[in-house]
Amino acid sequence: MEKADYIVFGEDILTMNECLDVVHNGAVAVKGGLIADVDAAENILKKYSAADSIGGQGSLVLPGFINTHTHAAMVYFRGLADDLPLKDWLEKHVWPAEKRMLSAEFVYDAVLLACLEMLKSGITTYNDMYFFGDSSAKASKQLGMRALLGVGVLDFPTMTANTVDEYLGNADRFIDSWRGDSLITPCIAPHSAYTCSTQTLERVKELADRRGVLTTIHLSETAWEVSEIMKRYGKRPVEYLESIGLLSDRLLAVHCVWLDDGEIDVLARRGVGVSHCIESNLKLAAGIAPVTKMLAAGVKVALGTDGAASNNDLNILSEMATAAKVHKAVANDPTVLDSKTALLMATRWGAAALGLGDQLGSIEPGKRADIITLNMRSPHLTPAYDLYSLIVYAAMASDVEDVMIDGRPVILGRALITGDEESILQKACEWSRRMVRSR
C-alpha cells in the first residue's frame, strides 16, 4: 500500500474537472501537498493508507473556492462608509482613512482577519490589490492561505510610495522576495486607467513582462470612468488598454461593468480574465456587468468579493447566489448562469483567470491539494436532489466544515488550527477603536 499524508472522505465529491465528474462515496488521497488520487473510497483504501483523515458521511468534498479580487486589509474599513457613490466613497472616506491609518502593522493584522473570514467560508486562494505586500504575505502564510498579492501602483503618493519609480521599485523587490514561495505568488496591480497615466501603465507592462507575473487592474467599473477615459484618450477603456498593449492572457480585468460588444470581443480575443464582483457593483450602484455576453464570447469570467469596505463581506458562496439570480433577472431568462456555471466561476474558471488553471480549481491528480468539505446534514441542505443547486442557492459559509490548503489542514470542524481566532478578533476591535479616535 502506498502511504498518503491524508485521505479526505466524502459522501459525494464534486471534482469540477472538465467532465464535471461526481464521485459517490468517494475519497481523495493527498500526498506531498498534491492530490495523488480520487476515486471511490473502497478503491482508495485498497491503494493508500494514511494516519489522518478528513470528512466522511454527510460531507460534500469540492475544490476550495477562489476569490479573484479583493483588498484584504480593507476588512478593517468594513462599515466605515456605506450607501455612497464610488467616487465619493473613495475620495471622501476610504482614501482619507487609509492616509490616517495605513502601516505595515495595520495591514498585517487586518489581513489575518480577512484570511480568517475567507477560510471559514471555504476560500482557499485570493487575489489581492493593496499596499504593504510583505505584511499581507506574512499574514496569509501564517494562516496557511494561498494568495496572489498585487503591489498597488498609482500616480499619486500614498503611505508606501511617493513616485511611480518607488511603486515599481516596491513591486520589483516584492517579486524577488516571494517568487517561488509555495503559497504566495507576487503580481503587480495598477489601480486603474484613470489613476495611472499611459506612461505608468506602459512601465507596469514592461515590468510584468520582464518578471513574468500577472497584472490586475480595475477596468470599466463605472459610467464615469468610461466618460473620463473617453475624454482623455478618445477611446473606451478596453480600446485604450488594447492600444497601449496591456491586454493579454496575463491580465486580470476587474469589474468590466460598462463594456460594449466590441470590447467584449477584444477581451475574448486577447484571453483576458475578468473578475466579476457583483455584490460590490450592486451596492455602489456601479451597474451590472454583461457576464452572460462575456461567457458566450468565451471570456474567462470568475468571481471576486472586492474589499469588505464595499461588499461588506468576503464570501464567494454569497457571490455565486447573487450572480446566478441577478443575471437571470437581467436576461429575463431563468436558464442563464446556471448553478454549474456559477460554481465553475468560483473554482476552475477562477484558477484559469489567475493563470493557475494547471495547479488549482479542481480535484484531479497532480493538482495542489486545496480541498474543502461542507457539512450537508442541515435542514436548509435537505433533501439533496442536485448538489450544484444546493451549493449555489442554499449553502452558507457556516456549512464549511474543513479546509485544506497545499495538503495541510487549516480549518477542522470549523475551528482555525493555524492561528488564534480570538486574538485576531481582539486585534480588530483594538484597531477599530483607534480608527474612531483618529477621525
The domain limits of the chain are: 2-63+370-406, 65-353
* The CATH number fitting domain 65-353, selected from 3.20.20.140, 3.40.50.1260, 3.20.10.10, 3.40.50.620: 3.20.20.140
pLDDT above 90: residue 424: yes
Phi and psi torsions of 244, nearest 5°: -105, 10
Give the tens place of pLDDT for each residue, 241-267: 999 999 999 999 999 999 999 999 999
Provide the terminal-to-terminal Cα distance of the chain, rounded to the nearest Å: 63
pLDDT value, residue 340: 98
pLDDT over 90 at 201, yes or no: yes
pLDDT of residue 269: 98
* Mean pLDDT score of the chain: 97
**Average pLDDT over every residue of 401-422:** 98
Give residue 89's pLDDT band: very low, low, confident or very high (50, 70, 90): confident
438: cell is 483618529
**What is the rounded distance in angstroms from the CA atom of residue 439 to the CA atom of residue 434?**
9
pLDDT, average across residues 104-120: 98
304 and 69 in contact (C-beta within 8 Å)?
yes
Cell numbers representing residue 41 in the block: 473510497
Element (H, E) at 22: strand 22-31
Round to whole Å and give the CA distance between 358 and 53. 26
Helices and strands of the chain, counted as H and E runs: 17, 18
Residue-level pLDDT at 438: 86
Percent of the chain with pLDDT over 90: 95
Could you tell me the three cell numbers for 69?
A: 479580487
Q: What's the grid cell of residue 124?
A: 482557499
pTM of the model: 0.97
pLDDT per residue as tens digits for the range 14-61: 999 999 999 999 999 999 999 999 999 999 999 999 999 999 999 999
Q: Which amino acid is at 32?
A: G
Locate 2 and state its grid cell.
Answer: 502506498
For 99, 338, 363, the CA distances from 322, given in Å and listed in that order, are 33, 12, 25
Which of 24-38, 76-90, 307-321, 347-361 is predicted with the least confidence, judged by mean pLDDT? 76-90
* In the predicted structure, residue 229 carries a pLDDT above the cut 90: yes
Which is nearest to 282 in space by CA: 326, 238, 324, 334? 326
- In CATH, the number for domain 2-63+370-406 is 2.30.40.10
